[in-house]
Amino acid sequence: MVNLTLRFVACCRAADLRISTAEVLDCVSQLDLIQPLDEEEFKLVLRSNFAKSRREQSRFDQMYHLFFHEMQKDLSKVTHDPDSEQARSVIDMLRTEESDDALGKALTDFMDGDPMAFVEEVHRIHTQEEQEARALRSNMSQLASRLQVMLRINRMKNKVLNFQGGNHAVIDKDNARRIADSLNEKLDNALDLLNNEPQPDNYSLREIKHHDVKYNTIGEIPFASLSQEEIEEVRDVIWKLVKKLEEIATLRFSVSNRGVIDIKKTLRRSGKYLGVPMEIIFKDRPLRKGKIVALCDVSGSVWSTARFMLNILYSLQECFSKIKSYIFVSDLAEVTDFFRDNDVNEAIEKIMNDAPVNYYVPTDYGMAFQHFRNRHMQELDKKTTLLIIGDARSNHMNPQDLILKSMRERCKRVIWLNPEQEKFWGSGDSEMRTYKSHCHEVRPCGNLNQLIDFIEDLII
Amino acid sequence: MHHEHFFSCPSVSDLIIFPVSIGLQFFVFSLFLKQGFGKDDHEKPYSGMSRIYGTTKKAGGKADMDFQSVQDVQEQLEAFSYIASKEISTVVFLAQATKKPILVEGPAGVGKTELAKSVAKCLGRDLIRMQCYEGLDESKALYEWEYAKQLLYTQMVKEKIHDVVSQSATLKEAVDQIAEHEDAFFSERFIQTRPLLTAIRSEEPVVLLIDEVDKSDPEFEAFLLELLSDFQVSIPEIGTIKAKTHPFVFLTSNNYRDMSDALKRRCIHLYIDYPAIETEVNIVKLKLPGMDENLLTKLVKMVARIRDLDLKKKPCISETLDWAKSLVILQIEDLSAEIVSETLNTICKHRSDYEVVRRNILKVVKD
């Protein structure tokens, strides 16, 4: 039992489930307390120890199914059916012919009941990053690796077919077919594993779909189609909103739960009244402020939303401990300094004019995330809210959503604001569905009413 | 740290040097008013943040009863009106047997807190509950020095202090002599225990519920680590306090933010989802035995359909119960579209949700 568990743990680790030795120890000791032959209980013990959040459970379930169901025939080697000897000889044959490289070896191991090397290979392909090409961008590297595995699986299937069609002195036709079927089934499983990457169950995702209609006409016009006059009007509304929110935040600060009594100051003040402590001083507890990191897509229509968002965020600087902002199309640049040196509206104009990024390339979210991770990951900590403003239209490039996952792991919340309305998410080249599973909150934010809703939610 | 201020200020010697004892009395009195000192003892240490439940001892049983098997957990919880799935009962059984905390995750209102309460009832233990929120710190969760009591005692033993220092020739000597008695003022006597310390120091084992731990700050989460792995806490002036008995710890989370790996590693994980239709029917039946079964099944199915709509807040089990109760009170026997829209405010807590359900009423009511 212990060995079996350890092999399963190794397999889970290959699929990027983080399992510590302490958890393995706990699990093994708990297996003594239940009836391990009751599969439901057995699975529950493993799951409650190895998948420590709902998000990891889908990955765990996939591994559990693979290891204890699809591979089960090989686990129960004690039961000796007449086919197994012959099936083994076929696998041995494949092994001698195919194990000249790591992939072939991993696949033959997989057919032989040891999925670890193949799981590792699949995980490597799923997390493969694009190389930054100088001339031509592509999303080919991951697809190429995938194709290679698929071709290899096909080749092996052909070999199994040859075996089935061949003349065998000892095996009759029926047996050969059975063996071929079971081997083909294994290869299909391998293909499934490659093609069906389980998405984490993001049950706690907040999806905001409705908004209050506060301003009838101006509030409902998409930012992208505002005329110059309307832009001014929106700015006015934003300015009023900012003042209102600042007031609320200050008020909250002054009445926020006062700290404990400050004996030092109280005794000092009492000196004025012959030692009678007439005034009792309490320590103020400073309001906890969060840090904001904003990533704004500045291509095409998204910029019209991003500019208003940046306008509001920087007007409300007082309410946050720090704001860092970045813009991206494909490469990413920090624009925090623009706001430090200029007035908010001037800064926004300047960003547009002295563009620190190249606007004339197709948007590539994956590459932008990769840049952020390589250069600015240290900006994220457990008190940071990461705001991403963009339509998630990545021109069919590799979305590299696992980088977003690692960003999520470092910060407090990830909120995605999409200027497109919800019905368009996931259509065409939109990767919103993929990214959604790594966010804490997603909401459409394409007009003033939606923006106001979001800001009030963030501050109050 | 607040007590450091008290410690570093020349408070004790000051008090002696201050000639005005009336002033001090007034001070102490005003502290009573501010801190509510002298109120009922049961309310004092928790000041509205958490509560302690009275022990529900089992008739004829020992105060601390253990679960014997997974089956036993399921049966005992059901006896206290909590219908537990096999998953829940297995995890509870394992946690109790291995003395590990349980991290319960799930959407709001599926019975995470209720599970802890029911387990406390089954085991006949007290439940100590600590509600987490942003800004929760050690002085609210663990302990706080009772400044008022310290000052009051200083005042009462002033004569004695006078005796101690009367023989000393210089001021320095006087301060040294008082310093020798410092321990008297920083002892466990003057500690106001907050929920975590109460749970640890309890003579009888308790159930400790740390509710909505995802709402607390990362600092507080880090602070919990020592408590959860070794069942001990460190107080700088006194030392490390080890648990006399092992509390049964539940942590609940709505996943507002992700918990750290270190915390997750110390717990057994449990995810509770919205119950299946039959389970929910059983839950309502248990709480409202008089209700007509057909109506009940229809109602639970409707709630499940409402949960599938795009709502700000999905109705939870307690809202199903509220709705069922109101139907019983109104003596309604069949659920038509009109009746559903009239009684909808028991399950829809947002105006926009109310409108969404109204718009989809035919989809909800269909058989």
**A355-377 residue pLDDT tens:** 788 888 888 898 899 999 999 99
Torsion of CA A13, A18, A23, A27, to 10 degrees: -50
The reply to whether A1 touches chain B by the CB within 8 Å rule is no
Mutate to test the interface with A, among B269, B307, B311 (most CBs of A within 10 A): B269
Q: Alpha-carbon Rg of chain B, whole angstroms?
A: 27
Both tokens assigned to A29: 């000791």
Q: Are B202 and B63 in contact (CB under 8 A)?
A: no
Interface of A with B in 36-55 (CB under 8 A): 40-41, 44-45, 47-49, 51-55
Instruction: Give exposure, A220-255, as e/b (b: 16+ Cβ within 10 Å).
Output: ebbbeebeeeeeebbeebbeebbeebbeebeeeeee
Q: How far apart are CA A34 and CA A52, in angstroms?
A: 20
- Decide if pLDDT at A395 tops 90: no
The reply to whether A288 touches chain B by the CB within 8 Å rule is yes
- Using alpha carbons only, what angle is made at residue B318 by residues B314 and B322, rounded to the nearest 5 degrees? 105
- Residue B95's nearest CA partner among B119, B76, B111 is B119
The reply to whether A173 touches chain B by the CB within 8 Å rule is no
The reply to whether A30 touches chain B by the CB within 8 Å rule is yes
Q: Which of A48, A54, A273 has the CB atom closest to B91's CB atom?
A: A48
Alpha helices in chain B, H assignment, sequence order: 2-8, 11-17, 21-35, 70-79, 86-98, 112-123, 138-141, 147-156, 158-166, 171-180, 195-201, 218-230, 261-265, 277-287, 293-308, 317-329, 337-343, 351-359, 361-365
- Cβ of B267 and A383 within 8 Å? no
- Cβ of B265 and A23 within 8 Å? yes
Greatest Cα pair distance in chain A: 114
Which of the four pLDDT bands, split at 50, 70 and 90, describes residue A162? confident
- Cβ of B90 and A44 within 8 Å? yes
Percentages helix, strand, coil for chain A (3-state, rounded to 5) are 60, 10, 35
Most confident option among A114-128, A264-278, B263-277: B263-277
Both tokens assigned to A339: 């706001």
Most confident option among A84-98, B2-16, B49-63, B232-246: B232-246
Contacts of A51 in chain B (CB under 8 A): 269
The reply to whether B98 touches chain A by the CB within 8 Å rule is yes
Most confident option among A95-104, B200-209, B341-350: B200-209
The reply to whether B224 touches chain A by the CB within 8 Å rule is no
The reply to whether B39 touches chain A by the CB within 8 Å rule is no
- Decide if pLDDT at A249 tops 80: no
- Residue in this structure with the two tokens 């933010």, named with its chain if needed: B257
Most confident option among A76-85, A184-193, A252-261, A374-383: A374-383
The reply to whether A18 touches chain B by the CB within 8 Å rule is yes
Q: At what angle do helices B21-35 and B147-156 cross, to 10 degrees?
A: 150
The reply to whether B97 touches chain A by the CB within 8 Å rule is yes
The reply to whether B352 touches chain A by the CB within 8 Å rule is yes
- Cβ of A26 and B98 within 8 Å? yes
- For residue A72, the one-letter residue type is Q
How many Cα atoms within 13 Å fall on the side-chain side of residue B148? 17
Q: Which of A45, A53, A285 has the CB atom closest to B94's CB atom?
A: A45
- Decide if pLDDT at B63 tops 60: no
Q: At what angle do helices A2-14 and A21-31 cross, to 10 degrees?
A: 140
Q: How far apart are CA A201 and CA A53, in angstroms?
A: 10
- Decide if pLDDT at B26 tops 60: no
Q: Are A369 and A134 in contact (CB under 8 A)?
A: no
Contacts of B18 in chain A (CB under 8 A): 275
Mutate to test the interface with A, among B225, B258, B264 (most CBs of A within 10 A): B258
Contacts of A200 in chain B (CB under 8 A): none
> How high is the pLDDT of residue B43?
33
Average pLDDT, chain A: 82
Q: Give the containing element (helix H, strand E) for A294.
A: strand A291-297
Contacts of B139 in chain A (CB under 8 A): 260
**Architecture of the domain spanning A206-255+288-459:** 3-Layer(aba) Sandwich (3.40)
Residues 6+ apart with CB under 8 A from B342: none
The reply to whether A204 touches chain B by the CB within 8 Å rule is yes
Q: Which residue has the higher pLDDT, A260 or B41?
A: A260
- Cβ of B312 and A210 within 8 Å? yes
> How high is the pLDDT of residue A139?
64
> How high is the pLDDT of residue A132?
62
Domain boundaries, chain A: 2-195, 206-255+288-459, 257-287
- Decide if pLDDT at B296 tops 80: yes
- Residue B188's nearest CA partner among B133, B232, B221, B149 is B149
Reduced to 3 states, what is the DSSP secondary structure of residue B256? coil
> How high is the pLDDT of residue A446?
85
> How high is the pLDDT of residue B41?
35
> How high is the pLDDT of residue B186?
73
User: For a pLDDT cut of 90, what percent of chain B falls above it?
Assistant: 20
The alpha carbon dihedral of B75, B77, B79, B85 has a sign of negative
> How high is the pLDDT of residue B251?
94
The reply to whether B90 touches chain A by the CB within 8 Å rule is yes
Q: Are A149 and A424 in contact (CB under 8 A)?
A: no
Mean pLDDT value across residues B21-33? 48
- Decide if pLDDT at A76 tops 50: no
Q: For A200-243, write each residue's pLDDT tens digit.
A: 888 878 887 777 778 888 888 888 888 888 888 888 888 888 88
Q: Which of B105, B144, B310 has the CB atom closest to A54's CB atom?
A: B105
Mutate to test the interface with A, among B146, B257, B316 (most CBs of A within 10 A): B257
Residues forming beta bridges with residue A322, ordered by sequence position: A291
CA distances from A57 to A36, A41, A199, A405, A409 (A): 20, 16, 10, 15, 16
- Decide if pLDDT at B19 tops 60: no
- Decide if pLDDT at B207 tops 80: yes
Between A128-142, B28-42, B83-97, the lowest mean confidence (pLDDT) is in: B28-42
- For residue A87, the one-letter residue type is A
User: For a pLDDT cut of 90, what percent of chain A falls above it?
Assistant: 13
Most confident option among A246-250, B133-137, B198-202: B198-202
- Cβ of A41 and B91 within 8 Å? no
- Residue in this structure with the two tokens 């939606």, named with its chain if needed: A450
Q: Are A440 and A207 in contact (CB under 8 A)?
A: no
> How high is the pLDDT of residue B64?
52
Q: For A421-448, write each residue's pLDDT tens digit.
A: 888 888 888 888 889 989 999 988 888 8
Residues 6+ apart with CB under 8 A from B97: A30, A33, B67
Reduced to 3 states, what is the DSSP secondary structure of residue B101? coil
Interface of B with A in 156-195 (CB under 8 A): none
Both tokens assigned to A342: 């200029």
- Residue in this structure with the two tokens 């109705």, named with its chain if needed: B315
Tell me phi and psi for residue A294, to 5 degrees. -110, 130
**CATH class, B70-139+194-271 region:** alpha beta
Q: From its phi and psi, is residue B239 left (phi > 0), alpha (psi between -120 and 50) or beta?
A: left
The reply to whether A460 touches chain B by the CB within 8 Å rule is no
Give the gap in angstroms from C-alpha A58 to the nearest C-alpha of chain B: 12
Q: For B43-61, write each residue's pLDDT tens digit.
A: 333 433 344 444 444 444 4
Most confident option among A219-233, A349-363, A404-418, B17-31: A404-418
> How high is the pLDDT of residue A285?
63
Q: For B164-189, write each residue's pLDDT tens digit.
A: 778 788 888 888 887 877 777 777 78
Q: For B122-145, write each residue's pLDDT tens digit.
A: 999 999 999 998 878 877 888 888
- Decide if pLDDT at B37 tops 50: no
Contacts of B259 in chain A (CB under 8 A): 53
- Cβ of A275 and B18 within 8 Å? yes
Mean pLDDT value across residues B135-159? 79
